[in-house]
């Protein structure tokens, strides 16, 4: 079983819709969690950190569920510019583990 | 702050040639990383460093070498380039083990 797993998609979603991704992790000792966004042929960029209390940044909400060992990302009122690959990242000690990413296509 | 910078942006190598990919950061980060990303695939860790003078292998280190003589710089050396090393190479840094990473813009390498 991979340490970090994501549904690769693609998710094809109409503009204005709400979309949610989950990412599961296998090691309960994992310590910090992030969502990154990667556009085609570009470097990954931090979207947001993820906390157990949940955190929101505009149209984006991230949540950590330690009991079930998953993190989630919710995008509301999706825009064409949200089309990208979303990477789940988990830290454990010195190790940083990237998921393979979920591709999102926002359709006009 | 310039953040993480990488040079060159693009390079074409012939089989058997060598080159050094440069990476520098001006954020005084202790941790630095080299990844490669093949088309349509995820990031694979090549080497990483937790501080000046300390380096360690990632999951795909064969064919590469690194050094970390200063906090700022983390060059990646390719010896005897092979077509399998055609990829996009990203350098990243972070302050400590629980922080987010900051990525450079990448170097696109083609080996023919």
Given a cut of 90, whether residue A28 has pLDDT beyond it is: no
Q: How far does the CA of residue B16 sit from the closest CA of chain A (Å)?
A: 26
Mean pLDDT of A62-78: 95
Q: Tell me which residue in A32, A43, A49 faces B104 most closely, judged by beta carbons.
A: A43
Rounded to the nearest angstrom, the gap between the alpha carbon of residue B6 and the centroid of all alpha carbons in its chain is 9
Question: Is there a contact between B15 and B82 (Cβ–Cβ < 8 Å)?
Answer: yes
Task: List the one residue out of B76, B68, B65 whose CA is nearest residue B52.
Answer: B68
Q: How far does the CA of residue A101 sit from the closest CA of chain B (Å)?
A: 7
Q: What is the CA radius of gyration of chain B?
A: 13
List CB contacts of A65: < 8 A, sequence separation 6 or more.
A52, A71, A72
Structural tokens at position A105: 């296509």
Given a cut of 80, whether residue A1 has pLDDT beyond it is: no
Structural tokens at position A5: 């797993």
> Does A85 contact B at CB distance below 8 Å?
no
Taking any CB pair shorter than 8 Å as contact, residues of chain B touching chain A are 31, 33, 41-43, 48, 50, 88, 90, 97-106, 108
List CB contacts of A50: < 8 A, sequence separation 6 or more.
A33, A34, A35, A62, A63, A64, A71
- Partners of residue A49 in chain B, C-beta under 8 Å: 100
Question: Is there a contact between B86 and B74 (Cβ–Cβ < 8 Å)?
Answer: no
Mutation to test the B interface, candidates A34, A36, A44, most B Cβ within 10 Å: A44
Beta pairing partners, B54:
B51
List CB contacts of B66: < 8 A, sequence separation 6 or more.
B34, B46, B47, B49, B55, B74, B75, B76, B77
Mutation to test the A interface, candidates B98, B102, B109, most A Cβ within 10 Å: B98
N- to C-terminal Cα separation, chain A: 37
In the structure, what pLDDT confidence band is assigned to residue B31 with cuts at 50, 70 and 90?
A: very high
Structural tokens at position B60: 């795909």
pLDDT of residue A54: 87
Mean pLDDT of A89-98: 89
Mean pLDDT of B94-104: 93
Which tens digit of pLDDT belongs to each residue from A14-27?
A: 999 999 999 999 99
Percentage of chain B exceeding pLDDT 90: 92
Residue entry with tokens 């797993």? A5
In the structure, what pLDDT confidence band is assigned to residue A94 with cuts at 50, 70 and 90?
A: confident
pLDDT of residue B22: 98
Task: List the one residue out of B47, B36, B18 whose CA is nearest residue B87.
Answer: B36
Distance CA B64, CA A17 (A): 45
Which tens digit of pLDDT belongs to each residue from B39-86?
A: 889 999 999 999 999 999 999 999 999 999 999 999 999 999 999 999
């Amino acid at each position: 079983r991979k340490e970090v797993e994501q549904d690769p998609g693609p998710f094809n979603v109409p503009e204005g819709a709400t979309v949610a991704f989950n990412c599961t992790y296998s090691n309960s000792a994992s310590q910090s969690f992030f969502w990154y966004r990667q556009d085609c042929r570009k470097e990954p960029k931090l979207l947001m950190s993820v906390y157990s209390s949940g955190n929101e940044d505009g149209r984006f909400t991230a949540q950590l569920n330690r009991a079930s060992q998953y993190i989630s990302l919710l995008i509301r009122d999706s825009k064409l510019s949200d089309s990208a690959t979303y990477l789940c990242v988990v830290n454990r000690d010195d190790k940083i583990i990237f998921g393979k990413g979920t591709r999102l296509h926002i359709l006009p | 702050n310039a953040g993480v910078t990488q040079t060159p942006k693009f390079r074409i190598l012939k089989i058997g040639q060598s080159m050094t990919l440069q990476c520098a950061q001006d954020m005084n980060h202790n941790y630095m990383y080299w990844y490669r990303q093949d088309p349509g695939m995820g990031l694979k860790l090549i080497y990483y460093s937790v501080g000046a003078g300390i380096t360690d292998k990632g999951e795909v280190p064969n064919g590469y070498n690194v050094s970390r003589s200063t906090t700022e710089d983390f060059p990646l050396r390719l010896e005897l380039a092979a077509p399998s090393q055609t990829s996009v190479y990203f350098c990243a840094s972070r302050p400590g083990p629980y922080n987010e990473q900051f990525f450079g813009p990448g170097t696109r390498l083609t080996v023919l």
